[in-house]
Structure 1
Amino acid sequence: MERIAAVIDQINTTTAHVLRWLALFMVLVQFAIVLGRYIFGVNSIAVQESVLYLHATLFMLGAGYTLLVDKHVRVDVFYAKATPQTRRRIDVFGHLFLLLPSMLALLYWSWPSVRNAWAIFEGPLSVGGIKGVFLLKTLIPLFCILVILQSVSSLVRLLFGKTT
């Protein structure tokens, strides 16, 4: 079981190592947009939308890694002062009854939209935009899958081994 958890952790870690370069690229593109617009008087809707695509990719695909390193949002009312055993119980409950069901529901309910977007190769939101909204929508199931996998990894460790 630990091997499965380690493989899942590696998937999200590798994804995060690739995504960190997107953050730098996103900043550089935004800088180029500002320079182009205010210094050279040049503007491109597609380039502006590329920042949206990069931002969405960074956050959607980085969510699994965020869960891995325990930097996700947590309502800390009871958790902070709880014993390690109580924290473990809260974590198991959260994964089994909150996180996994919500990710599975999101995956299920978003799939028809993603499938339809691919069927028509859904185009840009704006005239002159990126012709790849279907790619943007694909981030939703990928997000769900990466978070589900990381949740399974965390559950394996919570129930059968060391904690994450």
Structure 2
Amino acid sequence: MTILKKILKIIDTCSEYAGSLAKWFAWILVLAGAYDTIARHFFNAPTVWAYDVLCMSGGTLYVLGWSYDYLHDSHIRVDLLYRKLSPRKKAFMDLISAVFLFFPLMTAFLVSSIAWAIRAWRIKETMTATFWYPPAGPYRTVFAIGIILLMLQGIAKSIRDAYFLIRGESLD
């Protein structure tokens, strides 16, 4: 059991680090957006790079934050019934939802995002929204990493839920 706890702790730590890293992309969003706004409106000198930086920073913020949010149960949930359930019934509902909704959807996202990233690197894809044309490979790779981290956190949560259902006590 201690090996399982160590593995779960490693997954949780990866999600914590991803969340800590993601917050810095909020700063990049603010700084790049402010710089472009000031350059555009006060100096009539718009940038060619700010739009792509804003899109990639925002996307990176989201995908790296997914596993952190899942770890801290901060994701959006329609909880008309869920909040009234006992802890054991919540664990059961979470486990059933994970098996039939979360894992199939995340598996599809993971397969397509990895293929997307590999293709971007292979063909040296560039982002074409502006005239800057930054490489797409790094962003596509971060997207795949974010989904991997989210799936790992989903696996950790499902293991904890199953343990709680079987034993009636927390695995932590």
With normalisation by structure 2, the TM-score equals 0.87
Match of 2:121 in 1: 118
2:41 matched to which residue of 1?
A: 38
Give the CA deviation at 1:65: 0.5
User: Separation in 2 of the partners of 1:163 and 1:42?
Assistant: 57
Residue 87 of structure 2, aligned match among 67, 73, 84:
84
Counterpart-to-counterpart distance in 2, 1:46 and 1:86: 50
Moved more, 104-113 or 3-12: 104-113
Residue 32 of structure 1, CA deviation: 0.7
Q: Aligned partners of 2:83, 2:105: CA distance in 1, in Å?
A: 24
Q: Summarize the Cα distance change of 1:123–1:145 in structure 2 as closer, same or farther, 3 Å threshold.
A: same
> What residue in structure 1 maps to residue 135 of structure 2?
132
Contact 1:57 1:139 in 2 (8 A): yes
Identity %: 25
- In 1, the alpha carbon distance for the partners of 2:90 and 2:136 equals 40
State the shift of 1:121 in Å: 1.3
Point out where structure 1 has 5 or more consecutive residues left out of the alignment.
none
How is 1:42-61 mapped onto 2 (pairs within 5 angstroms)? 42-61=45-64
Deviates more, 1:38-47 or 1:132-141: 132-141
**Following TM superposition, where does structure 1 have runs of at least 4 consecutive aligned residues deviating by more than 3 angstroms?**
none
Distance in 2, Cα, partners of 1:18 & 1:115:
23
Could you tell me how far 1:135 is from its partner in structure 2? 2.1
Match of 2:98 among 95, 98, 114: 95
Task: Return the structure number with greater relative CO, CA threshold 8 A, min gap 6.
Answer: 1
* Aligned twin of 1:75: 78
C-alpha distance in structure 1 between counterparts of 2:108 and 2:129, whole Å: 30
Q: Summarize deviations over 1:92-137 as a string: whole Å, max 9, x none.
A: 1122221111111111233333221110110121342242222222
RMSD (CA atoms): 1.7
Measured after TM superposition, the shift of residue 46 of structure 1 is 1.3
For residue 160 of structure 1, report the CA deviation from its aligned partner.
2.5
Q: From 24, 27, 36, give the equivalent of 1:24.
A: 27
TM-score (ref. length: structure 1):
0.91
Q: Secondary structure at the match of 2:49?
A: helix
C-alpha separation in 2, matches of 1:78 and 1:153: 24
Paired residues, what number?
A: 164
